[in-house]
Amino acid sequence: MSTSTQTVHVHTTSRDYDVLVGNNLLAQTGALVRKAGAFDAAFVVSDTNVAPLYLDRVRTSLEAAGFATQSAVVEAGERHKNLATFGTILEGMARAGLTRDSVVIALGGGVVGDMAGFAAASYMRGIQVIQVPTTLLSMVDSSVGGKTAIDLSCGKNLVGAFLQPTLVIADVSCLMTLEHEVFIDGLGEIVKHGVLADEELFDQLTHSPLRQDSDPSYLVHVVAHNVSIKRDVVGADEQEHGVRQTLNLGHTIGHAIEAASGYTLGHGHCVAAGLCCVSRAAEKLGWAPAGMSARIDACVTAQGLPTTTDISTGELFAQATHDKKRHGSGVNLVVPTGIGSVEMRHVSLDELAQIIELS
């Protein structure tokens, strides 16, 4: 039986767009891009992991739909999400003669999506981007919501722009080729969504963790459902002045773990551990009901993700207070108050140190 494609419509103040989630969508990229706009050319940005697998298929489909197509393939990995690679992409776009009517196609995981999106936001003061995420993490999180960025040597995502995509094409067949650790990295953000807003999703994941060999229609359902959770938040607060900050659940300690590991640990692994840490501390402080953190630990463990870190509390505190999300004399911490509910608390740096000690 064929798997039906699900469409999640995203409404934001700057743009409305569809996120298409289906199986074997890549071969239809050209027709889908054609429907999304009258572009004069398509420029595909991919990386050295993804391009050998999918670039030809996507370019062939774009060319069959009548697009003049060129591409840039950058080195894979977070350490290449920097000014030098960003410059290479922009130079490639200029050499390809892109105009303000051209479109950038970001084919890859979060690193490619962030860099290609930021290049699109910057080139000629902004052209359109279509996100074609190929990892679970980029399907359920980074391809949706318009955050684009590159890293500086002082920190991650320090330069960027909001640019909502014109279309997102999430093809779950791409998940089959991921290394196991890369696949489960996406489950960190999925568990986070469950804790944030959906107890049913959370319980479902605890009892039947998503796997690469899950039925494609189950993969489509879970990805589309997670996109709709993120859509509801982003639609209410596109530029993270308020409720969008709740998507940072698990990220204060998660980012600290990621930075302390020198970005060798996957983002979703770090978010999962950060989520468990803040949950344990919240429970000990009486901000969350007894038993909540054990449930979160069990769900995270069922996905094969870490619930803790061996990085010292001193190092975690130092990294957490470097984070760009620091506000004045403290940080806005997202605290789980149950499965499916959170609250924002502005905590002082002393309170943050205590939370890390208790975690």
Residues in the site for ligand GLY, rule: CB under 6 A?
141, 145, 147, 240, 244, 247
d(CA 344, CA 350): 17
Cβ closest to ligand GLY, residue 240 vs residue 351: 240
d(CA 228, CA 250): 20
Q: Collect all residues with Cβ–Cβ distance below 8 Å to 216 and sequence separation of at least 6.
A: 3, 23, 172, 173
323 alpha carbon, distance to own chain's centre? 18
Cβ closest to ligand GLY, residue 141 vs residue 171: 141
Q: One of 59, 221, 244, 295 is an active-site residue; which one?
A: 244
Is 95 an annotated catalytic residue?
no
Is 59 an annotated catalytic residue?
no
Is 241 an annotated catalytic residue?
no
Is 251 an annotated catalytic residue?
yes
Q: Collect all residues with Cβ–Cβ distance below 8 Å to 344 and sequence separation of at least 6.
A: 245, 246, 332, 333, 334, 335
The radius of gyration of the chain's CA atoms, rounded to the nearest angstrom, is: 20
Is 221 an annotated catalytic residue?
no
Cβ closest to ligand GLY, residue 10 vs residue 276: 10
**Is residue 267 within 8 Å of residue 253, measured between CB atoms?**
no
d(CA 100, CA 267): 33
In the complex, the smallest distance separating the C-beta of residue 145 from ligand GLY, rounded to whole angstroms, is 4
Q: One of 199, 240, 315, 351 is an active-site residue; which one?
A: 240
Is 255 an annotated catalytic residue?
yes
> Which residue, judged by CB position, is nearest to ligand GLY in the bound state?
247
Q: One of 80, 81, 267, 280 is an active-site residue; which one?
A: 267
Beta bridge partner(s), residue 334: 344
Cβ closest to ligand GLY, residue 157 vs residue 313: 157
Q: One of 147, 156, 192, 225 is an active-site residue; which one?
A: 147
Is 332 an annotated catalytic residue?
no
Cβ closest to ligand GLY, residue 113 vs residue 306: 113
d(CA 40, CA 68): 7
In the complex, the smallest distance separating the C-beta of residue 240 from ligand GLY, rounded to whole angstroms, is 6
Is 156 an annotated catalytic residue?
no
In the complex, the smallest distance separating the C-beta of residue 8 from ligand GLY, rounded to whole angstroms, is 15
In the complex, the smallest distance separating the C-beta of residue 149 from ligand GLY, rounded to whole angstroms, is 10
In the complex, the smallest distance separating the C-beta of residue 19 from ligand GLY, rounded to whole angstroms, is 13
For residue 286, report the phi and psi dihedrals to the nearest 5 degrees: 75, 20
Is 80 an annotated catalytic residue?
no
Question: Where in the chain does DSSP place strands (E)?
Answer: 6-11, 16-22, 41-47, 68-74, 103-108, 128-133, 147-152, 155-162, 167-171, 326-327, 330-338, 341-348
In the complex, the smallest distance separating the C-beta of residue 282 from ligand GLY, rounded to whole angstroms, is 20
Is 147 an annotated catalytic residue?
yes
Q: One of 49, 78, 80, 189 is an active-site residue; which one?
A: 189
Cβ closest to ligand GLY, residue 42 vs residue 271: 271
Q: One of 156, 230, 269, 295 is an active-site residue; which one?
A: 230
The closest of 287, 25, 358 to 174, measured between CA atoms, is: 25
List active site positions. Answer: 125, 147, 189, 230, 240, 244, 248, 251, 255, 267
